[in-house]
Amino acid sequence: MSRKIDLRSDTVTRPGPAMRKAIAEAEVGDDVFGDDPTVLKLERMLAEMVGMEAALFLPSGTMSNQTAIVAHTQPGDEIICDVGCHLYNFESSGPAVHAHVIVTAVEGHHGALTADMVRRRIRPINMHQPRTRLVCLENTHNRAGGRIYPVELMRGVSTVAREHELRLHLDGARLFNAAIARGIPVTEWTSLVDSVNICLSKGLGAPIGSMLAGPVEFIERARWIRKRMGGGMRQVGILAAAGIYALQNHIPRLAEDHANARRLAEGLFDLPGLDVRPQETETNIVIIRVKETSRYSATELLALLAEKSVLLSAFGEGVLRAVTHLDVNEADIDRAVEACRKLLAA
Ligand code: TLP
């Protein structure tokens, strides 16, 4: 059988020889005692890159987002976010379970909330109501198909948050994708928020790990919460070394993933039965809507492509998702398009 073209997610990447060498040679200590030099280096490095005072290394993006929510809120508070965002839909009710907050989910514009959308939801200070405390944004937006949050829109939300003494958290799992696609530094966005989650294990290609960055006091609180959740890790410098390698070597190449995603979207664009929008493919995620008129349903297409070693993921009713990453190249994309063409155009 031919090599699998795994487009299920950018989480599937495997560490290559150079990253494995960095892992093997990592200097380690006990990070719960705060003396793993490689973790300390990664935390300093990432904090500097995103223009924040401090950063914390966590096992996953989910733990990073949920730790941030707990650190920013009190039980009973309200958070505002886009209705399709990851921390509301795909983190196993984390806000309810860990932070005991209620979530007001608002329909954003391609996943982005505007200042007005937020302002309208902020509650008066009144003992009958929850206290609106935190706004959570996502960039790039996964469900919206890797869409980039316009800086000016985020600036507007940030101003409203400041005016109402709300905190602002950014799920920047794929923030470097946004920066590379726009050709601007990540600080254009991070300077507008109080905290940011950055995933090392997605397009950046590390096997495990996410970073939470923010002010020193906030990160110290987050360190306690991480420990309480069981996320205090010991000789975790071996993973931090992979993160450092990823930050040093895998950021500019995200442009290749974006070009491959666009190539895929353009290749699928005119296939009968599919609704794919190349002009909306801004980064490394391609949303494939399977029309009612298609000869195969989304579920059937997923299975038939898998038989041909092309793996996509189901992404809601009649929708499939393809994500490009450092383990797929242009030739793989052309093979994936060809497999779809053979199935649908026959
Ligand atoms: N997203 C995964 C799935 O959970 C859907 C994927 O394959 O895209 N924020 C965003 C925007 C994410 O897309 C994800 C993972 C996370 C947070 C959580 O990261 P992990 O998987 O490390 O907990």
Residues 236, 263: one domain?
no
Tell me which residue range forms the domain holding 292: 253-344
In a domain, 92, yes or no: yes
**Whose CA is closest to atom 18 on ligand 1?**
61
Give the tens place of pLDDT for each residue, 180-206. Answer: 999 999 999 999 999 999 999 999 999
CA of 61 to the centre of ligand 1 (A): 6
CA dihedral sign of residues 113, 280, 66, 96: positive
For residue 327, give the CATH number of its domain: 3.90.1150.10
Q: What atom of ligand 1 comes closest to residue 285's alpha carbon?
A: 8
In a domain, 7, yes or no: no
Give the tens place of pLDDT for each residue, 273-315. Answer: 999 999 999 999 999 999 999 999 999 999 999 999 999 999 9
Residue 280 gets which letter from DSSP?
G
Residues 207, 125: one domain?
yes
Q: How far is the C-alpha of 247 from the C-alpha of 257, rounded, in Å?
A: 16
pTM: 0.98
In a domain, 113, yes or no: yes
For ligand 1, mutation pick of 58, 62, 325 (most atoms within 8 Å of CB):
62
Q: Among 249, 274, 304, which residue terminates a domain?
A: 249
Q: Confirm if 249 and 87 have CB atoms less than 8 A apart.
A: no
pLDDT at residue 3, as a whole number: 86
Residues 237, 111: one domain?
yes
Residue 199 Cβ < 6 Å to ligand 1: yes
Q: What atom of ligand 1 comes closest to residue 174's alpha carbon?
A: 11
Residue 95 gets which letter from DSSP?
I
pLDDT at residue 1, as a whole number: 53
Residues 39, 142: one domain?
yes
CA of 86 to the centre of ligand 1 (A): 7
Residues 219, 321: one domain?
no
Q: Among 249, 269, 295, which residue terminates a domain?
A: 249
For residue 227, give the CATH number of its domain: 3.40.640.10
Residues 48, 115: one domain?
yes
Residue 86 gets which letter from DSSP?
H
Give the tens place of pLDDT for each residue, 121-175. Answer: 999 999 999 999 999 999 999 999 999 999 999 999 999 999 999 999 999 999 9
Q: How far is the C-alpha of 170 from the C-alpha of 193, rounded, in Å?
A: 7
Residue 62 Cβ < 6 Å to ligand 1: yes
Residues 149, 175: one domain?
yes
Structure tokens given for 280 = 């909306």
Residues 184, 35: one domain?
yes
In a domain, 11, yes or no: no
Q: How far is the C-alpha of 290 from the C-alpha of 308, rounded, in Å?
A: 18
pLDDT band with cut points at 50, 70 and 90 for residue 345: confident
Residue 148 phi, psi (nearest 5): -95, 135
In a domain, 168, yes or no: yes
In a domain, 150, yes or no: yes
Residues 52, 134: one domain?
yes
User: Number of folded domains in the chain?
Assistant: 2
H/E element, 188: helix 187-190
Q: Residue 346: pLDDT above 70?
A: no
In a domain, 6, yes or no: no
Q: Among 219, 249, 279, which residue terminates a domain?
A: 249
Q: Are strands 54-58 and 210-214 parallel, antiparallel or unpaired?
A: antiparallel
CA of 155 to the centre of ligand 1 (A): 24
CA of 173 to the centre of ligand 1 (A): 7
Give the tens place of pLDDT for each residue, 15-71. Answer: 999 999 999 999 999 999 999 999 999 999 999 999 999 999 999 999 999 999 999
pLDDT at residue 2, as a whole number: 75
Q: How far is the C-alpha of 271 from the C-alpha of 278, rounded, in Å?
A: 13
Q: What is the mean pLDDT of the chain?
A: 98
Residue 10 Cβ < 6 Å to ligand 1: no
Cis link prior to 293 (omega < 30° from 0)? no
Give the tens place of pLDDT for each residue, 142-154. Answer: 999 999 999 999 9
Residues 319, 335: one domain?
yes
Q: Residue 235: pLDDT above 80?
A: yes
Residues 233, 106: one domain?
yes
Structure tokens given for 301 = 């297409």
Residues 154, 293: one domain?
no
In a domain, 42, yes or no: yes
